[in-house]
Amino acid sequence: MSDNQGPKRFQTPKGVHDILPKDHEYHTFIKKVVRHRCRQAGFKRITTPIFEFTDVFKRSIGDETDIVSKEMYTFEDKKGRSLTLKPESTAGVVRAYIQNNMQEWPQPVELYYIEPHFRYDRPQKGRYRQFWQIGLELIGESDPALDAQCIQLAHLINKDLGIADRFELQLNTIGTPEARAEYSQVLSDYYVGKDRSLCEDCLRRRDKNPLRLLDCKAEDCQILADLAPKMSDYLDKESVEFHEELKSYLDEMGIEYKENERLVRGLDYYSKTVFEFWDKHEGAQNAIGGGGRYDGLVELLGGNPTPAVGYAAGIERMIANMKISKVRVPSKDNLHVFVAQLGTEAKKKCLPLIQDLREAGIKTMGALGKGAIKNQLRLADKHGVPWTVLIGITEVRDGTAIIRNMEKGTQETVPMEKVVSTLKKKIGAKNLDTYSPGELLYS
């Protein structure tokens, strides 16, 4: 179709977005915090592929969950194999644990990830079709002290990001699979004859996953959930003791929590501990993250029975909350120096100077096009640089350069060979962006 207005301008598909430089400053900061806290606690980083065989997710997350029944990006490859973009990472990490014989490693194996995920969700505030999560997995041991450590690490990360006080830790236990099966039956029976009050989703979930009816957000479903039989009346002794012990550890560490019997989490694979960090004002709707124990998952994916606990939190929501709380992150992209020049001879002097400045850790941009000095200075202003170096015909002849303080509008002339050392002093050693590839390699 011909179009007088020129070629079509593309937009991102619904629910996905570019991460522009300003937001990358937040991403960088969050990654730093997560890496630092995880390293301190002995966690190692893992990255699983962006796509896995669809069955990895179907088998672990469960057919009846929203994720598997409606939200997966599933496609066939050229050989007709069904693959899915990962909607979460626990299933892939557990697949990797089994595939790489991690049961031979010292247990528990403690891993963390920082990864993009994909869900065909209805896009809205804080809910996208591609989003980033940080996550923790502690695989290979069943002890409430591990659940406590997982929650503590999640809490510390929120604290370091300056957003911990915006969230409330909601805590529950959903017992062993046996206890849950009995309770599920009781719940199913309770919901019989209540079709007219249930939303479409709950009607669908009632027979296969009745626990999910407890955390439905629809008003009528919530009223029914309030009156439903309580999980605590059906819990097994082991789970109750496990939960009491976990709470005593959290108390010991001074981590506040709110017990919430209706918290069940959306995925099938949880057992015993489940927890979420809810927004104090908006509740579950804008939870920053959640997790729990998944003692049966390794076996479900073909490994030996292996207990585990994990947590995942959304980076976009972290950033949104940091912005609300006016948390400012370091802006490492800011330039120190702009080099302006006039004429071909000056340009010849500028190119090596720019490189020398950069080697010294001074973030430098050069105006190497043909613009007039006035325009170059305007550009320097737009970049917000504190210093500009000017080299014109006179400076080339004299072997000098002008250093201009952009804020004050003052300037001084210095010998060419002193430009780098003078600027280093002005910028200050702690602000320089130095790096030595050798150091990076061997540190």
**265 vs 404, beta carbon nearer ligand AMP:** 265
What does 8-64 look like in DSSP terms, one character per residue?
A: PPP-PPTT-----HHHHHHHHHHHHHHHHHHHHTT-EE----SEEEHHHHHHHH-TT
Strands lying side by side in the sheet with 364-366: 364-366, 337-341, 387-391, 400-405, 410-415
Which residue has the closest beta carbon to ligand AMP?
A: 314
Please select the residue that binds ligand AMP; options are 31, 35, 127, 208, rule is CB under 6 A: 127
Please select the residue that binds ligand AMP; options are 92, 108, 289, 366, rule is CB under 6 A: 289
Which stretches within 206-302 are classed as H helix?
219-227, 237-252, 297-300
Please select the residue that binds ligand AMP; options are 175, 210, 314, 386, rule is CB under 6 A: 314
Query: Residue 298 interacts with ligand AMP (CB under 6 A)?
Result: no
CB of 234 to ligand AMP, least distance (A): 24
Query: Residue 119 interacts with ligand AMP (CB under 6 A)?
Result: yes
- Which H or E run includes 189? helix 177-191
Query: Residue 292 interacts with ligand AMP (CB under 6 A)?
Result: no
CB of 81 to ligand AMP, least distance (A): 25
Q: Give how far Cα 222 sits from Cα of 12, 288, 300, Å.
A: 36, 22, 32
CB of 200 to ligand AMP, least distance (A): 20
Cis-peptide, bond into residue 108, ω within 30° of zero: yes
Per CB under 6 A, the segment of 126-134, 138-146, 367-375, 408-416 that binds ligand AMP is: 126-134
SS3 127: strand
CB of 172 to ligand AMP, least distance (A): 14
- 266 contacts 207 by C-beta, under 8 angstroms: no
Residue count of the chain, please give it: 443
Contacts of 74 (CB under 8 A, 6+ apart): 54, 82, 83, 84
Q: What is the 3-state secondary structure (H, E, C) of 328-384?
A: CCCCCCCCCEEEEECCHHHHHHHHHHHHHHHHCCCCEEECCCCCCHHHHHHHHHHCC
Strands lying side by side in the sheet with 51-53: 51-53, 82-85, 74-76
Please select the residue that binds ligand AMP; options are 52, 268, 279, 316, rule is CB under 6 A: 316
Query: Residue 115 interacts with ligand AMP (CB under 6 A)?
Result: no
Query: Residue 287 interacts with ligand AMP (CB under 6 A)?
Result: yes
- Which H or E run includes 290? strand 289-293
CB of 112 to ligand AMP, least distance (A): 14
Strand partners, 413: 402
User: Token pair for residue 176?
Assistant: 């062993």
Please select the residue that binds ligand AMP; options are 48, 65, 84, 133, rule is CB under 6 A: 133
Please select the residue that binds ligand AMP; options are 136, 214, 288, 308, rule is CB under 6 A: 288
Query: Which x/- pattern over 382-421 shows residues binding ligand AMP (rule: CB under 6 A)?
Result: ----------------------------------------
DSSP type of residue 283 = B
Q: Which of residues 83-112 bind ligand AMP (CB under 6 A)?
A: 88
**163 vs 287, beta carbon nearer ligand AMP:** 287
Query: Which x/- pattern over 236-275 shows residues binding ligand AMP (rule: CB under 6 A)?
Result: ------------------------------x---------
Query: Residue 17 interacts with ligand AMP (CB under 6 A)?
Result: no
**127 vs 247, beta carbon nearer ligand AMP:** 127
- 353 contacts 339 by C-beta, under 8 angstroms: yes
Per CB under 6 A, the segment of 194-202, 306-314, 367-375, 397-405 that binds ligand AMP is: 306-314
Q: Give how far Cα 403 sits from Cα of 50, 390, 434, Å.
A: 49, 6, 21
Query: Residue 212 interacts with ligand AMP (CB under 6 A)?
Result: no
CB of 3 to ligand AMP, least distance (A): 34
Sequence-separated contacts (24+) of 414-421 with Cβ below 8 Å: 416/349, 416/353, 419/353, 419/356, 419/357, 419/389, 420/353, 420/356, 420/357, 420/360, 420/362
Query: Residue 313 interacts with ligand AMP (CB under 6 A)?
Result: yes
CB of 128 to ligand AMP, least distance (A): 4
Query: Residue 121 interacts with ligand AMP (CB under 6 A)?
Result: yes
Q: Is 299 exposed, middle or buried (0-12, 13-18, 19+ CB in 10 A)?
A: middle
CB of 223 to ligand AMP, least distance (A): 25
Per CB under 6 A, the segment of 5-13, 91-99, 230-238, 313-321 that binds ligand AMP is: 313-321
Please select the residue that binds ligand AMP; options are 108, 140, 175, 290, rule is CB under 6 A: 290
> Which residues are near ligand AMP by CB under 6 A?
88, 119, 121, 126-128, 131, 133, 266, 287-290, 312-314, 316-317
